[in-house]
Amino acid sequence: MTGLILRAVAPADQPALLALNNRHDGPVNALAAAGFATLCADAFLAVGAWGEAGELLGLMVALGPEGPLHGPNHGWIRAHHPEAVYVDRIVVEPAAQGMGIGRRLYAALAAVALQEGLHRLGCEVNLDPPNPESLAFHARLGFAPAGEARDPRNGKLVRYLLAEAAPLAAAGPAHFLRSAANHPCPAAPR
């Protein structure tokens, strides 16, 4: 997608990003405003994706191998793969899916991870309730199964996935900005 703008999540962006997140409760867990603000503040990378006209198209929040623990899925990745950056959530508006936004978000994260000396990305995808679209998307990006567990908070069965960062970074934007929160943020070339 041309004209995609990726930028670090600013406090003023959080209400719109939270609304996007919570519209997709199921594939991702809904959050309260305070919880989302804390997640973004603790993030290795918290980035939103906007179209040329300023419309919100997606978001990604990833947590590093250090810092506060955010739930059992983050804990599983940290315990089993402490060198991995954990993708807590990625959401793309349904009307914008298939346009490369998710791939660009992952490419941006991978590039930042490599800059910080981190070479793997980890995430989880629901198996029960099933999320076959997300499993297929992650497989296309090179993610491979790393384990399964039931989330004690909600009973969902999840599959943990891992991917090497370098191949993902090679497919994405190479320009980066630093936000006021000191989170690296890729900016799409214009």
pLDDT digits (tens, 9 = 90+) for 69-113: 999 999 999 999 999 999 999 999 999 999 999 999 999 999 999
- Is residue 186 within 8 A of residue 113, CB to CB? The reply is no
**Sheet of 5-8, strand order:** 5-8, 45-50, 56-63, 84-92, 120-128, 157-164, 144-150
Q: Does the pLDDT at position 188 exceed 60?
A: no
Q: How confident is the model at residue 1 (pLDDT cuts 50, 70, 90)?
A: low
pLDDT the model gives residue 60: 97
Whether pLDDT at 184 is above 50: no
Q: Which domains does the chain have, with CATH numbers?
A: 5-186 (3.40.630.30)
Q: Compute the residue count for the chain.
A: 190
Per the model's pLDDT, the better-predicted residue between 174 and 48 turns out to be: 48
User: Reduced to 3 states, what is the DSSP secondary structure of residue 106?
Assistant: helix
Q: CA-CA distance, 134 to 169, in Å (whole number)? A: 19
What pLDDT score was predicted for residue 170?
87
pLDDT given at position 181: 41
Which tens digit of pLDDT belongs to each residue from 15-42?
A: 999 999 898 876 778 889 999 999 999 9
pTM of the model: 0.88
User: DSSP states of 107-147 as a string?
Assistant: HHHHHHHHHTT--EEEEEEEEETT-HHHHHHHHHTT-EEEE
* Residue 7 binned pLDDT confidence (cut-offs 50, 70, 90): very high
| Average pLDDT of the chain to the nearest whole number | 88
Q: Which residue has the higher pLDDT, 172 or 139?
A: 139
Please classify residue 120 by burial: count the beta carbons closer than 10 Å to its beta carbon, then call 0-12 exposed, 13-18 middle and 19+ buried: buried
By three-state DSSP, how is residue 173 classified?
Answer: coil
